[in-house]
Structure 1
């Protein structure tokens, strides 16, 4: 028997997800006698004229049966002669997208149902996008209700082309397309005589044989520490699950983030000594010297793992309340839970079209790219490089509810892709942010920058020259280094936005894109500044900033007990 397969079923409302899994269980003789009798009895009062309603096996809540839709994630465990399975049947309705995302987070494969009479719908795209976001790499598109289109091959081929377009749009790998009828059983557990033009295997046979193991293993060994075990003064072991590679007695490891080196003195799998342990094993590791390691730290060997306190992530917002920049959450990455703040929403992603939309807030079931800053540096990485260190959830500090889930895109804040621009005119865009608020968080003892609403200003617009932590003069010029744009402010209004090469210094105060004073008071100094900027490719470093900029001229840091 090959390894356990964890998969999810998803699709639009009434596409037949529960019916499909119920039919697999029924046909495969995987029900107890009392379950089978109860199913047949319940079906007699259902909507199929006395025929068996296979969906009743999974729609367990009374509210689900009354509405005729799935509203919660139903997990089922079953085993055939060839494989063991865990399946999550998830809601199709948009209102329950977060429930569907929870089911997707555990799965290795997604079975996405498509109504043959309707083709690829908005919800199909939504669910495929979310499954890809949650790290699923294997997809089965089950074109269901083929009986309603009289098993027409041409109808199936048209839908097949739609799926291939979606596959290309989302860069989906390992896609299988199967025509089925969940109610009639065509191509569910056995090949259908009604669909002779389909030469592939039926759904269950494919699920029994598909290999979902990653073709490219993550680099090296790493294990997030779940618990420090100290039963007595002579033993100190670090417990966790190995997420990549293997480790053996005698191997040298590095502890992160403390970056200490030690050798493996002993390994325990359960209560048994072992010489080697590999990926997927829960293990206790004892080292040959004392090191600074606690829950949330990582033991690593032959791999480079970033240590950072800021990152950019793609998140699915799951809370009933809105996400607004500046609110503090507990951020859980790997085995580490730490206070953090969402400092900026770069843009929303339209889950139906994939379009990037500038945004100032986030509502339930929306997806966005956000910047997050943590209370201190921890071990984290991009999801594509080290999955266990690239997954995260945001936990509300008051209610302790999970507010969002997501994956890390960049292990440092990625401002290059931020769609917000403070100043724009024609093709000129300046992404500096002179309206950021600077707060000192008394609770976490950190300085945090909070981006404002994200409004863009163009020629003729009046700007806010005063905020909680900044106050600018009525007449000044803004030089946005990275974007090579100059903005002239006259009487609190934008009078010009021009390329930096066309700008001439007129003796007014100069401010950079963050609101820091530029120490220029003559044309000679201005010429020198711009010459250095050009020489450094308009991406100056700390030495340049220390020499040319002053923070406290127009800015201050506002103290707050906590940032909400």
Structure 2
């Protein structure tokens, strides 16, 4: 059974938390005591219905304000698929949280209030999801019950958003009219909207095809750890040498010829081990241990790939950066630590080309720095080569984080546009 990671986004009070609560409730993914606690809190607040948003808005500050601040992760499963939900905030001051939640998502659900239509925040969320290369986008037009389940209103929103999405790189866009509060078109088809001929939201989540979204062409295996069980009792285990990591792209099989970077030496895979035992092939995002035919000096941060299909060994990197630090700005000559796959190096900010207004898509080329939650194009110089691909080609080998040397805190997330 495969796993679908999806993120929800939308403006304040568009019903993200209620939608997730409805998915959890209708798919029988919550316990009786959780439901009782939510019902009790709903009664204490004087609401006439069970407020399912309380299932995800876990922080007291969120409940008091009725907003989502942090990224809340929830898990549930149906007979067809397992799901990991990232409930991301809608506020512009929490852009960094949305970037964090959507960076690993296979699909994003953007909620729009049917009464308010496409807002500036809706456009911002759509831009961010396409910037992060989330392969599938669902526009859920919520609160259809408050517009009398109007087909005309739904079509109006669909046309407006489609016109905006034509400016973005949105490859798969689906529109679903829903009412999260009443469950219309969330888990099962709604009788209140007979004019809608598509599937319910959960049916779409269960059946959307994600296997082809991963890069199965470019073999990329960043080495995370070298396994040498020196304390082993048997001679066979004592001689064991394996290279553990997560497959970031392509398909690996025993007998395949592979190349090691940075040495440039080639060898052959003799076996692929997992926690459950040996396997005949490995692909993203499996975590495996490779056994190789030759003893090569391999350590953490190195890359295993195909001889005729190598990533760029780059020290000059152009990237889109989302700045996440409060009280610290990104500006030319800043010195940071860059962590790319399993490799860590020091980096110098050579140039800030422009700051991007995520609401209007306007480029401010006069910007001198990036502040909290701002996004811009930046040139970096690293102290050692990183084995990279463009983010558009591979999200794992095309993404990185920036770390402050003084505090060791994550201050930025980057998506590689060009490398040399």
TM-score normalised by L of structure 2: 0.93
Q: 2:390 aligns with which of 379, 382, 400?
A: 382
Whether 2:295 is the aligned partner of 1:287: answer: no
Whether 2:282 is the aligned partner of 1:277: answer: yes
Which residue number corresponds to residue 323 of structure 2?
Answer: 317
Write the mapping of 1:139-154 to structure 2, written as runs, cut at 5 A. 139-154=137-152
Tell me the secondary structure at the aligned position of residue 88 of structure 1.
Answer: strand
Structure 1 pair 145/271, CA: closer, same or farther in 2 (3 Å)? closer
Is contact 2:248–2:285 with CA below 8 Å preserved after alignment? Answer: yes
Gaps of at least 5 residues in structure 1 are: 413-564
User: Take 2:226 and 2:119, find their aligned partners in 1: how far apart are those partners?
Assistant: 49
Which residue number corresponds to residue 11 of structure 1?
Answer: 10
Write the mapping of 1:164-563 to structure 2, written as runs, cut at 5 A. 164-214=162-212, 217-232=215-230, 234-270=239-275, 272-301=277-306, 302-320=308-326, 321-358=328-365, 359-412=367-420
Higher RCO (CA < 8 A, seq sep 6+): 2
Q: Choose 114-123 or 250-259, whichever is displaced more.
A: 250-259
Is contact 1:218–1:386 with CA below 8 Å preserved after alignment? Answer: no
Quote how far apart the aligned CAs of 1:286 are. 2.4
Tell me the secondary structure at the aligned position of residue 364 of structure 1.
Answer: coil
Is contact 2:217–2:251 with CA below 8 Å preserved after alignment? Answer: no
User: Take 2:239 and 2:293, find their aligned partners in 1: how far apart are those partners?
Assistant: 12
TM-score normalised by L of structure 1: 0.70
Tell me the secondary structure at the aligned position of residue 141 of structure 1.
Answer: strand
Find the structure with the greater CA-based Rg. Answer: 1
Q: 2:54 aligns with which of 53, 56, 59?
A: 56
Tell me the secondary structure at the aligned position of residue 408 of structure 2.
Answer: coil
User: Take 2:320 and 2:249, find their aligned partners in 1: how far apart are those partners?
Assistant: 23
Q: Choose 286-295 or 398-407, whichever is displaced more.
A: 286-295
Structure 1 pair 65/300, CA: closer, same or farther in 2 (3 Å)? same
Quote how far apart the aligned CAs of 1:242 are. 1.7
Quote how far apart the aligned CAs of 1:191 are. 1.6
Quote how far apart the aligned CAs of 1:50 are. 2.5
Deviations 1:458-487 (A, max 9, x none): xxxxxxxxxxxxxxxxxxxxxxxxxxxxxx
Equivalent residue pairs, number: 410
Is contact 2:216–2:283 with CA below 8 Å preserved after alignment? Answer: no
Quote how far apart the aligned CAs of 1:404 are. 0.7
Structure 1 pair 188/216, CA: closer, same or farther in 2 (3 Å)? closer
Gaps of at least 5 residues in structure 2 are: 231-237
Structure 1 pair 262/71, CA: closer, same or farther in 2 (3 Å)? same
Deviations 1:407-458 (A, max 9, x none): 100013xxxxxxxxxxxxxxxxxxxxxxxxxxxxxxxxxxxxxxxxxxxxxx
User: Take 1:269 and 1:296, find their aligned partners in 2: how far apart are those partners?
Assistant: 20
Quote how far apart the aligned CAs of 1:281 are. 2.5
Quote how far apart the aligned CAs of 1:271 are. 6.8
User: Take 1:214 and 1:278, find their aligned partners in 2: how far apart are those partners?
Assistant: 12
Structure 1 pair 258/6, CA: closer, same or farther in 2 (3 Å)? same
Tell me the secondary structure at the aligned position of residue 241 of structure 2.
Answer: strand
